[in-house]
A = this chain, B = another copy of it.
Amino acid sequence: MTSTIDLNMVNAYIPGRADVGPETAATIARRDALLGPAYRLMYERPLHIVKGEGAWLIDSDGRRFLDIYNNVTSLGHCHPRVVEAITRQVATLATNTRYLHETILELAERLLATVPGTDLAHMMLTCTGSEANDLAYRMAKVRTGGTGIIVTETAYHGFTDAVSQFSPSLGVTVDLGAHVRLVPAPRAYHADGADLGERFTRDVEAAIADLKRHGIKPAMLIVDSIFTSDGILPDPRCFLKGAVEAIRKAGGLFVGDEVQPGFGRTGEHMWGFQRHGVVPDIVTMGKPMGNGQPIAGLLVTHDAVAQFGRDSRYFNTFAGNTVSCAAAVAVLDTIEQEGLIAHSARIGTHLREGIAALAERHEAIGDVRGVGMFVGVEIVSDRARRTPDRELTSRVVNLLRDKGVLISACAMGHNVLKIRPPMVLDAGQADMVIAALDESFAEAAAGN
């Protein structure tokens, strides 16, 4: 049997580390045989989920888990409005963008209305965030004549051949492209009060200079505006401005990867970049766009797509299919009608403050940060030195799982709890999370 050990991956299931019971062991063995060695599971004891309801996932034994990790089902699992839209459309028509159809145009109008007064002019659809970032790169190459890419040191942007080459969080066994440069993520907790914006600008400028020194013309700077895999880094506001100016000055595009922060999760705006007072040339999006239905895409300025559109037709058989578009319109309706951006801000603040209060009695909690329904908790073995504690982080994630609360971790040191509740989380559920974290830190400190 092929091993699925993956020390590069945060929170991967590692065979043999915990007793999973005979039934789960048999299912894992069957899965390894069928899906092969590239697939991974999460948690020391993987979950066998059979049902989803709102913020809950239910396993094959009927046990309920509060799912505050999956950022696809951002409206909660099986949101009735999305289920209804899919159910209706799939029985009516499921076809492609080579015919005229109203729903894709409505979707484009609705999405473009989220970025008023900007140059973002067109919507293009893909099936996955990876495809959106891949397409953004193709367009950036055509627009700029360059190939160089700048990303943060633990970024994840996707898995296609091109995009995996600028996704360093896949680990050192996946080669970066020779045309890719990494810059340090803007980590306020580790900055000792330095001006993060200035530092990030300087780092991007150095990366541009290094690309040019190697004869590589810059094509784009791409960042996840909440820096998810780098450890969830929202502050200070506007720290991206100088870097964006630098890449543009060098002839490159600025691509905002909103696959994770997008669709209101930050509790302030529809898009994470809006926190930073910048407007990307291309905004990529995905995950929560269809609340589970495969749909992703991008917004782009006319300037960034004009030459590409002359040279290359773009057709993606399933992207923009009528069913996925109907799901995405239902998602936008729900965010608006349930007031989920404001709700995310309110509950997210409650959750963040509750977790921050835990730091008073749990020495391991070095930093609590985030915005809206995106919370990062940095775990350290020494507060003064801010030493990452990967082991304890993993312990807490797995203790929480055993208590029925699902999260994961992130960051270069694998030591930041990654908490991404559905935007519909209520205050009582947030309190459950805080209580479970409190218990887990206590047990982990006691060596349980």
Question: Is the CB–CB distance between A311 and B173 below 8 Å?
Answer: yes
Complex CA gap A6/B286 in Å reads 29
Q: Say yes or no for A393: interface residue by CB 8 A criterion.
A: no
The answer to whether B99 touches A77 (Cβ under 8 A) is no
**CA separation between A87 and B94, bound complex, in Å?**
13
B27, B37, B129, B160: the one contacting A306 at CB < 8 Å is: B37
Knowing A48-B100, A101-B48, A130-B131 are in contact, say whether A38-B321 is a contact too (CB < 8 A). Answer: no
Interface of A, helix, strand, loop or mixed by DSSP: mixed
- What CA separation (Å) do A160 and B42 show in the bound complex? 28
In angstroms, how far is the closest chain B Cβ from the Cβ of A238? 29
Q: Does A86 contact B (CB under 8 A)?
A: yes
Q: Which residues of B contact A346 (CB under 8 A)?
A: none
Query: Contacts A31-B100, A99-B47, A324-B294: A38 and B309 contacting too (C-beta < 8 A)?
Result: yes
Contact status B173-A12, CB under 8 Å: no
Give Cα A336–Cα B403 distance, bound, in whole angstroms: 44
Chain B residues, CB < 8 A from A300:
36
Interface residues of A in 17-72 (CB under 8 A from B): 24, 27-28, 30-31, 33-42, 46-52, 57, 70, 72
Given the known A-B contacts A72-B317, A90-B83, are A95 and B49 also in contact in the complex, defined by CB atoms under 8 Å?
yes
Given A98-B40, A124-B35, also A161-B162 (CB < 8 A) = yes
Report the bound CA distance from A100 to B366 in whole Å. 33
Contacts of A99 in B (CB 8 A): 41-42, 46-49, 57
Is A100's CB under 8 angstroms from B24's CB? yes
The reply on A137 being an interface residue by CB < 8 A is: yes
Interface membership of A310, Cβ < 8 A: yes
B93 and A90 form a contact (CB under 8 A): no
CB atoms of A294 and B12 under 8 A apart: no
A93→B50 contact, CB < 8 A: yes
A162 shortest CB reach to chain B, Å: 4
Nearest-neighbour CB distance to chain B for A308, whole angstroms, equals 6
What residues of B have a CB within 8 angstroms of the CB of A92 in the complex? 50-52, 78
Residues in B with CB closer than 8 Å to A6 are 313
CB of A152 closer than 8 Å to a CB of B: no
Q: Is A104 an interface residue (CB 8 A)?
A: yes
- Asked if B95 contacts A34 (CB within 8 A), the reply is no
B-contact 0/1 string along A363-382, CB 8 Å cutoff: 00000000000000000000
Tell me whether B90 and A38 are in contact (CB under 8 A). Answer: no
| A78-B97 contact given A34-B109, A128-B318, CB 8 Å threshold | no
Which A residues, 73 to 128, have Cβ-Cβ distances below 8 Å to chain B? Answer: 73, 77-78, 82-83, 86-87, 90-102, 104-105, 108-109, 112, 121-124, 127-128
A174 contacts B by Cβ under 8 Å: yes
A91 vs B121: C-alpha distance in the bound complex, in angstroms?
35
Most buried by B among A83, A287, A318: A318
In the assembled complex, A292 has its CB within 8 A of some CB on chain B = yes
B134 A160 Cβ-Cβ under 8 A: yes
List 18 additional contacts besides A35-B124, A86-B87; criterion CB under 8 Å: A2-B306, A6-B313, A8-B313, A9-B313, A35-B105, A36-B124, A36-B305, A39-B313, A40-B314, A57-B95, A77-B94, A128-B318, A159-B314, A160-B161, A161-B163, A170-B312, A173-B310, A294-B324
Could you list 20 examples of A-B contacts with CB < 8 Å? A2-B306, A24-B100, A34-B122, A35-B97, A37-B310, A38-B305, A42-B99, A51-B93, A73-B94, A82-B90, A86-B86, A94-B293, A127-B131, A128-B318, A128-B319, A160-B160, A160-B161, A161-B161, A170-B313, A287-B317
